Structure 1
Amino acid sequence: MNTLKSRLGAEVEVGTFLKFPVIESVELMSIAGFDLVVIDLEHSPMSIESAARLLAMAKALKIESLVRIPSHGYEWVQRSLDAGARGVLVPHVDNAEQAEQLVAAAHFPPRGHRGFGPTTRAGGWAVDPETDYRLEANTAALVVQIESGEGVADVEGILAAGVDSVFVGPADLSVALGVEPGSPELARASRTVLDAAKAHGIPCGIAAGSGERARQLVDEGYDYAVVGNDATMLGSSASAMVAAFRR
């Protein structure tokens, strides 16, 4: 069975998003005990150069890494994987055709059309004899984010396209469906994705707002959860300290 464990090389249960372009964020999340960091190029001003530095730190610390790319462009898949990401998280995948195009972008011919560039971190810069660039490419994870009613409706086609994992984005999904977070409609849509993934033997992840909620979701059957982000953690901690002082 194609599992995220086999793709990422570790037992991944909990991760977090990174929005700050500083390597210390990776270091701190590793110390905290996260299994995974997701470098967020969709909802941050971070550049691919900054992401590459964070990926280098993740590799050194042996913490798993994904890059959430800002669009479906081939160049984002190629550059993120060549920079050393263990996979890409692709937002707003709404149908099987989009999923098929992403699968092609992430794989070498004949399965896809990814460019061959071993003179990269993923290829050991063509000087590390221990690095097999083709193996690195074949074990990279393509994770697609389902966050619309269209994506939920075509989840079977998306899964059949050859993706390695699906990821539920509850915030965008609730907006797309026109329902409130925590509503029964949102729960049903998320469950549709989870049940389909289970039937296909494909891991299903989900975003969560707290550690407690992440634990609950994994206990309910999700394979992994991505909880919070470095920016909100810093802001929340700072706000709590000031509030305690003012009291």
Structure 2
Amino acid sequence: MTPSARLRENKVHIGTWLSIGSPVIAELAAESGLDWLLFDLEHGCGTEDALLGQLQAIRGSHAAAVVRVGAPHADLIARVLDRGADGIMVPHVSTVAQAELCVRAAHYPPRGRRGVARSVRACGYGLRPLENAAALVPPLIVAQIETAEGVENARAIAQVDGIDVLFVGPADLQFDLNAHPEQAVRDYQGCLAEVAAAASAAGKQCGILVRNPEETDTFHKLGFTLLGVDSDLAILRKGYQALVTARPGSDQQT
């Protein structure tokens, strides 16, 4: 079973955010047994040029490589998939039209409009035939719900053929709800329930970024199965802070 196919299974998938852009960290995360890794090109320190080395570092591992592009733009989506990502995460998907754009950008004709290039890594640099688009493994497409508008349209977005996961962006969603209280028809917890219900009704996965590993069970009970737990940067930060607080004689020492 391919990595993208595994992530479509209705069970818990534990992954993490990779924001630093290091192939070594990517390889370590994959070797640690995580189900999926999110390479962040929206807010992370890594660049599109550095992505290739990270994807190569986890080749052959169990972990699926999902790349978050900076925006729902067709050219960004196509370039990431050409580099061999198993799936894409697209931020700020608030309408059906945006969701459909993502699907078209990720698929070859006749289903989509992705350009054909046999020399890219996704095609083995020309060593693997690309004769029949229908025979290719479809990429996982993760639509991030990060606004009140996205929540309102969540059921329709989940019904779009080709969208595999609705993924809540907690920080952006809470910020949007606070910035536009007059548009919010439900509170944050209500939004989480609505998105999870929308995904379930469509037979799709629902995911969320979890900052505290101890909260994974809580979110799973709410209906979330694709869990992005913490990040490489945050894990390092907390580790370094622990070293400082462990200083002998420190007032912060426990």
SS of equivalent residue, structure 1 residue 20: coil
Cα 1:135/1:219, change in 2 over 3 Å: farther
Cα 1:62/1:49, change in 2 over 3 Å: farther
In structure 1, what is the Cα distance between the partners aligned to 2:135 and 2:220? 28
1:155 counterpart residue number: 154
1:112 counterpart residue number: 112
1:208 counterpart residue number: 210
Q: 1:62 offset after TM fit, Å? A: 3.6
Q: 1:138 offset after TM fit, Å? A: 3.8
In structure 1, what is the Cα distance between the partners aligned to 2:245 and 2:138? 46
In structure 2, what is the Cα distance between the partners aligned to 1:218 and 1:25? 27
In structure 1, what is the Cα distance between the partners aligned to 2:175 and 2:148? 10
Given the alignment of the two structures, is residue 172 of structure 1 paired with residue 153 of structure 2, yes or no?
A: no
Cα 1:118/1:110, change in 2 over 3 Å: same
Of 189-198 and 40-49, more deviation after overlay is shown by 40-49
Q: 1:133 offset after TM fit, Å? A: 8.1
Cα 1:57/1:9, change in 2 over 3 Å: farther
In structure 1, what is the Cα distance between the partners aligned to 2:62 and 2:120? 18
Q: Tell me if structure 2 keeps the 8 A contact 1:7–1:139.
A: no
Q: Which amino acid aligns with 1:164?
A: D
Q: Which amino acid aligns with 2:199?
A: A
Q: Which amino acid aligns with 1:124?
A: G
Structure 2 unpaired stretches of 5+: 180-185
Of 11-20 and 89-98, more deviation after overlay is shown by 11-20
Q: 1:61 offset after TM fit, Å? A: 2.7
Q: 1:220 offset after TM fit, Å? A: 3.1
2:200 counterpart residue number: 198
In structure 2, what is the Cα distance between the partners aligned to 1:136 and 1:237? 45
Q: Tell me if structure 2 keeps the 8 A contact 1:146–1:173.
A: yes
In structure 1, what is the Cα distance between the partners aligned to 2:78 and 2:102? 10
SS of equivalent residue, structure 1 residue 198: helix
Looking at CA atoms only, which structure, 1 or 2, has the larger radius of gyration? 2
Q: 1:27 offset after TM fit, Å? A: 1.7
Structure 1 unpaired stretches of 5+: none
Q: 1:53 offset after TM fit, Å? A: 1.1
Given the alignment of the two structures, is residue 78 of structure 1 paired with residue 95 of structure 2, yes or no?
A: no
In structure 2, what is the Cα distance between the partners aligned to 1:9 and 1:214? 19
Instruction: Report the TM-score, using the length of structure 2 for normalisation.
Output: 0.86
Q: 1:125 offset after TM fit, Å? A: 1.1
Q: Tell me if structure 2 keeps the 8 A contact 1:18–1:38.
A: yes
Q: Tell me if structure 1 keeps the 8 A contact 2:4–2:64.
A: no
Q: Which amino acid aligns with 2:224?
A: Y
In the alignment of these two chains, the number of paired residues is: 239
1:143 counterpart residue number: 142
1:101 counterpart residue number: 101
Cα 1:8/1:119, change in 2 over 3 Å: farther
Q: 1:216 offset after TM fit, Å? A: 2.2
Q: 1:26 offset after TM fit, Å? A: 1.1
In structure 1, what is the Cα distance between the partners aligned to 2:54 and 2:174? 31
Identity %: 32
2:239 counterpart residue number: 237
Q: 1:111 offset after TM fit, Å? A: 1.5
In structure 1, what is the Cα distance between the partners aligned to 2:73 and 2:136? 18
Of 170-179 and 7-16, more deviation after overlay is shown by 7-16
Alignment of 1:12-51 (within 5 A): 13-51=13-51
Q: Tell me if structure 2 keeps the 8 A contact 1:145–1:166.
A: yes
**Which structure has the highest helix share of the two?**
1
